Amino acid sequence: MKKLALIGGFLLTSWLAQAQSLNTFLDEADAFFKAQVVNGRVDYAGLNKKGASLNSLVKQIAEFDVNSLSDVERKAFFINAYNISVIKGIIDNYPTESPLKVPGFFDANKHNIGGTKITLNTLEKENLLKVTGDEKLHFVLVCAAVSCPPIATFAYRPENLEKQIEGRTRLALNNNEFIQVDDRNKTVNISEIFKWYAGDFKDKAPSLIEYLNKFRFEAIPTDYKTDYYTYDWNLNGQSPKKDVEPTSNLQNFTPSILLNKGQVELNSFYNIYTQRKIRNAEGDRVSLDGRQSFFNAQYQVTFGVSKSSRVNVGFDVVVSSFSDGDSPFSPVFQSGDFNAVRLAAIGPSIRFTPFKSINNLSVRSAFWFPGGRNLENVEGRFVAHDRYTWFNQVFFDQKITDEWRLFLEADLIYRFARRDDQENFFRTPLTGILSYFPNAKTSLFALYQYSPRFERVSNGFDEAFGLSQWFQQAGLGVKYQLTDKLGIEASFTNFFASRNDGGGTTLNLGFRWIK
């Protein structure tokens, strides 16, 4: 009996301690929402400057033993954890205009919930909707967007949970902005939440209007036609025009970030490489008989095709020209004694993020078909590569501070021989770019690249695949967002070291349009 009493006492003490821990968390959460939410808007700017209360709640959410909670306690805990984690996700990427501007915000970025790292989508769908079957949760879980139901100014508590949930449901479904009734035209425009989660509402009422009427003070006639208004994904922040500096495509769509579904990118990049000298196997500069200049114009169209923003597809076109004129711009204006312009390559491309949890890492793979024959020997002059090309790029970027970012790129460019007089070879360029953003529309950058070439080479006894040549280049550049959709960049680089390769400079100009 004494042993049983001790066990019972221990269990009771543990239960009381956990209950007190939950109450402490809910009290802090209640004070947090009261202080940071006004009329359904969150003070992200204030939290960004002073977020100790948010960090305390996030820490408690991570350390909480959810298995010790009852079903209703767990439901309340997860609701609060979701809304707090959404706010934390915005602060971690602040300033931003929308949760959709943060790659992987809902389906890739993970939060520590009770010692388990999960995404917001998993928390919503698996831990709440699937377990509880309560479709009304769609009116209490707030996704940081203007078209979400307004976030509450209180924490959800187990002792009053169902009353709180029903109250927020009635508030949302009687809101003229959330449910837009047009008596004149006998129509009702409703949130796209009812379209995205149609299965959650299917068996709750004979029709969607009848479901709305269960919670409305003024019923909607059942013969009204229903439609969906476009979801406003702008941030549900307080005074957003004052608190948040508008971001731009230059900041949001860095080289590693993919387009959202339905978005389109048009990219044109113009490159002039000009040289009067090359370097031999020892790295010594060797003068050429005059100037050689090459011009490449590359055009890319890319489409966002996946709802998760993890896959883009596109198409590339490359046009090349050569000139021996005195001016570096002679291949552009065809002003030399010898000029040649050719369609160099065309082919499809795909971009994807291989890991959900690493949204700032992406891969682009393109396969180019040569645009003609004998491009490597046009009257004895090289104009472009006359080979099939498999062009792979791995992009990664890391935010250092709000103003500084580091971009890294590793490539594999494989050229396939088409004829007996050609050999396969490949390059593996490695590029690092340090960028400084003085404001949302401008980026200044410095770059460095090392590009070795590998092919069959002779070592004096036999032939084997090995390093045949390489170059290093460094340069400076600037990018500027001209309009909301159109950006421009310009850069200059110098081939400061090489072996059996070029010793010239490049001039680069690019345009990028995203809608």
* Number of other CB atoms surrounding residue 127 within 10 Å: 22
Could you give the 3-state DSSP secondary structure of residue 262? coil
Vertex 410: Cα angle to 408 and 412 (nearest 5): 165
The SS3 call for residue 480 is strand
Rounded mean pLDDT, 479-504: 94
Report CA 152 to chain centroid distance, whole Å.
29
Q: How many residues does the chain have?
A: 515
User: What is the β-pairing status of strands 404-416 and 388-399?
Assistant: antiparallel
Contact 152, 26 (CB under 8 A): no
Q: Tokens 């809902």 correspond to what residue?
A: 106
CA angle 426–432–437, rounded 5-degree value: 145
Confidence label for 287 from pLDDT (cuts 50, 70 and 90):
very high
Q: How many CB atoms lie within 10 A of CB 429?
A: 18
At residue 262 the predicted structure's pLDDT band, cuts being 50, 70 and 90, is: confident
Instruction: Let me know the angle formed at the C-alpha of 357 by 351 and 358, rounded to the nearest 5 degrees.
Output: 55
Q: Partners of 317 in the beta sheet?
A: 299, 346
Mean of pLDDT values over 316-326: 93
Rounded-to-integer distance, Cα 372 and Cα 440, Å: 42
Q: What is the mean pLDDT of residues 377-404?
A: 90
pLDDT at 6 over 70: no
Give the least confident one: 59-63, 279-283, 319-323, 401-405: 401-405
460 confidence band (pLDDT: 50, 70, 90): low
CA distance 372 to 439: 44
Instruction: Say whether pLDDT at 120 is over 90.
Output: yes
pLDDT classification of 40: cutoffs 50, 70, 90: confident
Q: How many helices (H) and strands (E) does the chain have?
A: 13, 21
How do the domains of the chain map onto residue ranges? 2-228, 249-514
Rounded distance, CA 115 to CA 222, Å?
Answer: 47
Lowest mean pLDDT among 36-40, 305-309, 343-347, 385-389: 305-309
CA dihedral 56, 58, 62, 64 (to 10 degrees): 60
Q: What is the pLDDT at residue 461?
A: 62
Q: What is the DSSP string of 60-93?
A: HHHH--GGGS-HHHHHHHHHHHHHHHHHHHHHTT
Q: Is 429 left (phi over 0), alpha (psi -120 to 50) or beta?
A: beta
How many Å apart are CA 186 and CA 172, to the nearest integer? 21
Does residue 3 carry a pLDDT above 60? no
Integer Cα distance of 500 and 425 in angstroms: 15
Give the pLDDT score at 242. Answer: 43
Could you give the CA distance from residue 297 to residue 29 in angstroms, rounded to a whole number? Answer: 56
Query: Could you give the CA distance from residue 341 to residue 328 in angstroms, rounded to a whole number?
Result: 15
Indicate the average pLDDT of the chain: 89
Per-residue pLDDT, 511: 97
Would you say residue 143 has pLDDT above 80? yes
Mean pLDDT of 164-179: 93
| Token pair listed for 513 | 């349009």
Q: Which residue has the tokens 């971001």?
A: 247
User: pTM to 2 decimals?
Assistant: 0.60
Q: Is the pLDDT of residue 13 over 60?
A: no
Task: Tell me if 475 sits within 8 A of 446, measured CB to CB.
Answer: yes
Q: What are phi and psi of 120, to 5 degrees?
A: -60, -40
Whether 429 has a pLDDT exceeding 80, the answer reads yes
pLDDT above 80: residue 349: yes
79 and 134 in contact (C-beta within 8 Å)?
no
Report strand pairing: 225-228 vs 501-502.
Answer: unpaired
Cα–Cα nearest to 208, from 226, 192, 196:
226
Exposure string (b/e) for 88-102, b if CB count within 10 Å is 16 or more? bbbbebbbbbbbbbb
What is the pLDDT, as a whole number, of residue 408? 96
Superfamily of domain 249-514: monomeric porin ompg (2.40.160.40)
* Percentage of the chain modeled with pLDDT above 70: 93
